[in-house]
Structure 1
């Protein structure tokens, strides 16, 4: 009897344990399946497209406006539409099964939270502030082609060469890179370069070009050499403003100052007064240009022009004193010859040096 009871109890315990194992088996398999699916999903979200060669990203930038060129800070602000195109076979789908020809994710929420693919995070290398993104659209085609379109506003730092001011021509450059990847992983290629009818006060747009290059950066993947996309805009300053404000009036004033060589030598005080009026005018123009020009450490064309005008008018004061001294020593003939000579030497020298400065400027 006792043996029978023990056998029954053992059978009951065995059946109960088997039932627990049968129930627990699907529960243990489900987390494993979910973990494998999560790992697979992470590979889609986080990894580069599985290609033997680097991922090719075709970049296009349509510049819609250049808001400002700041010579003091050597920056320019621009607005444009940046388009990135690359291929990711993992994102290919069957249009019939999906019910759409292409999947579209638009706006920050859909792009950041719902889009399932890796994308190239492009940053402005020579940014002088934050790069503002005003809108974003990701178009995923059935063959795996990904098209990322975003409208951006940014301020870029660029080197300005003002030696020829106000006849200078500048190249404004915006340099983009895919953050965190070297050129063995991601390569940027030039797409289509376009620009609207741009208008910038005091500047004329002369051309637009785009190129790619490799630069060494410490944070760019394993090799430390990143692929860069460079958008360049060539602009030329409209010199009419400075020409009518400074150059032409000062040339007339300097030439009028040379009229002292036609004045009576006996009125030395009047001659020197005319010369000093011209000198003070040149100093006033230098003050005006200091307010217009940025604080730079080299000499520009306008600096040379102002200094030339100033020095030649100082020269008229010196000649006036020499002529007055000759008259005091009764050397009237020599004083007259000096006046006659200076009537031609000063204007020819002044205009000749201006022409030479233009010739030298054209070689810079």
Structure 2
């Protein structure tokens, strides 16, 4: 009985093992079902590429140098079609350019399999089958492909495995501008290319040695002139806390490329539409100096209209600028011109006030010092004038008295003069007789010899006209001096 059960168990185990062997599929070898590359010249380009990049021998998720562990050198170049600097308040510019990347993938070398084939060229379909470096523009605000994927993406594979990837892009890049010398400023903007997925130990970016960036001969700028441009290579450090690259999951130094260009703003538009009109408005405000001081209506109308016109001109220009904390060169010009126009209004108010005074003015000398002193502080000037007149008249009075005493002493024997001579035993001296008229004449001659001042009387109207005449010359000279300083600062500093 025991032998019978044992034989049944043996038969049952044998049957189970037979079923497992029957259901098990034979294992595939490494080259089993992998399309052959023999007779590669007889295949079409699509057939040959599908065999060359088949998943059995090519993994597009792996770096071309994954077997050796070396870094992949990716050479970049750009062809610029179009540059459009935006308005200053947007702080950006637009690029239309062709970006070309070149690297070598040994897995795609087909020279031994298809020696007659010169090059494999394709579009977006070929791009989806091979490894492409993942780059991004770190200072972009927006970007996109120009046209369609099949039209503006080109990829070619050389027989030695060199891959050339071309892509036409349009992008808006952020550019911080220094507007302290606006509109005579020069700006430096850049396009930054960085590796996103691989650090510098796996992928290195570098510019082509010859002409890394080329400009289209049809490239023209409107508001700016392209002064210079250059390229450089650098590294960007990333760590766990920095989510700038790779989502913060990859550390190390990431390779980066930068293309920088220098733009100079064209000032012709601002000269014709801002500076020259503002000069004309300031000069128009000087017309009030040729109008009579009591012509209040025309002088006020002319002064206020020029002020409002210049404010309107300045505000229309400032709308295109960002609100920055520092003072710009255009604002210095605005403040200077506003000061000249406002000073012309103040000058009119000053001379009109003087014109309406009633009392005439006695001046010791017709000069700016005495006229302006009397015009600004008339009461104080009159008091000082009275003191000066009294001080000038007192020496003449003392001189006439001394002459009278001298004449009286000459006739008697006991006068002071004779006593002086007697005491000192001096010889007799004949003293001339001086009359009051002669003394006055001699005094006047002596004062003239010493530069005595002639007193002048001016009416308030004369003073107002005198100030207007001086303003006609002073204001243009000061404005010319302001222009010399301003344009020296703009072009020399």
Structures share a fold, TM > 0.5? yes
8 Å Cα contact 2:207-2:257 kept in structure 1: yes
Matches within 5 A, 1:119-130: 119-130=132-143
C-alpha distance in 1, partners of 2:259/2:33?
44
Query: Counterpart of 1:46?
Result: 62
In the TM superposition, what is the alpha-carbon distance from 1:82 to its structure 2 partner?
Answer: 0.3
C-alpha distance in 1, partners of 2:250/2:16?
57
Query: Counterpart of 2:167?
Result: 150
Higher relative contact order (CA 8 A, sep 6+): 1
Query: Counterpart of 1:194?
Result: 214
8 Å Cα contact 1:61-1:231 kept in structure 2: no
Q: Deviations over 1:266-303 (max 9, x none)?
A: 32443232221211111111232234434444332222
Q: Please, which of 187, 202, 213 is the counterpart of residue 170 of structure 1?
A: 187
C-alpha distance in 2, partners of 1:263/1:184?
81
C-alpha distance in 1, partners of 2:292/2:62?
90
8 Å Cα contact 1:59-1:82 kept in structure 2: yes
Alignment pair present for 1:320 and 2:320: no
C-alpha distance in 1, partners of 2:265/2:346?
38
C-alpha distance in 2, partners of 1:70/1:148?
33
Alignment pair present for 1:260 and 2:288: yes
Matches within 5 A, 1:84-103: 84-97=101-114, 99-103=116-120
In the TM superposition, what is the alpha-carbon distance from 1:14 to its structure 2 partner?
Answer: 7.1
Decide which structure has the larger Cα Rg and report it: 2
Matches within 5 A, 1:1-364: 21=21, 27-30=25-28, 41-42=58-59, 45-50=61-66, 51=68, 53-97=70-114, 99-107=116-124, 109-112=125-128, 114-115=129-130, 118-132=131-145, 134=147, 135-191=152-208, 192-196=212-216, 197-217=218-238, 218=242, 219-220=245-246, 222-329=250-357, 330-362=459-491
Q: Deviations over 1:232-263 (max 9, x none)?
A: 23222222222212211110121121122232
Matched residue SS, 1:160: coil
Query: Counterpart of 2:373?
Result: none
8 Å Cα contact 2:191-2:259 kept in structure 1: yes
Higher mean displacement: 314-323 or 223-232? 223-232
Structure 1 or 2: more strand by fraction: 1
Matched residue SS, 1:255: helix
Q: Deviations over 1:59-117 (max 9, x none)?
A: 1111111245232221111111101112233332325536412332323x2211x33xx
C-alpha distance in 2, partners of 1:90/1:35?
19
Matched residue SS, 2:74: strand
C-alpha distance in 2, partners of 1:339/1:319?
8
In the TM superposition, what is the alpha-carbon distance from 1:311 to its structure 2 partner?
Answer: 1.6
C-alpha distance in 1, partners of 2:267/2:259?
25
Higher mean displacement: 48-57 or 135-144? 48-57
Matched residue SS, 2:136: strand
What is the RMSD computed on CA atoms of the aligned residues? Answer: 3.4
C-alpha distance in 2, partners of 1:308/1:84?
54
In the TM superposition, what is the alpha-carbon distance from 1:181 to its structure 2 partner?
Answer: 2.1
Matched residue SS, 1:60: strand
C-alpha distance in 2, partners of 1:157/1:35?
52
Describe the shift of the 1:16–1:157 C-alpha distance in structure 2 as closer, same or farther (beyond 3 A): closer
C-alpha distance in 1, partners of 2:33/2:333?
76
TM-score (norm 2): 0.63
Describe the shift of the 1:16–1:335 C-alpha distance in structure 2 as closer, same or farther (beyond 3 A): closer
Matched residue SS, 1:56: strand
8 Å Cα contact 1:124-1:131 kept in structure 2: no
C-alpha distance in 2, partners of 1:214/1:277?
59
Q: Unaligned stretches of 5+ in structure 1?
A: none
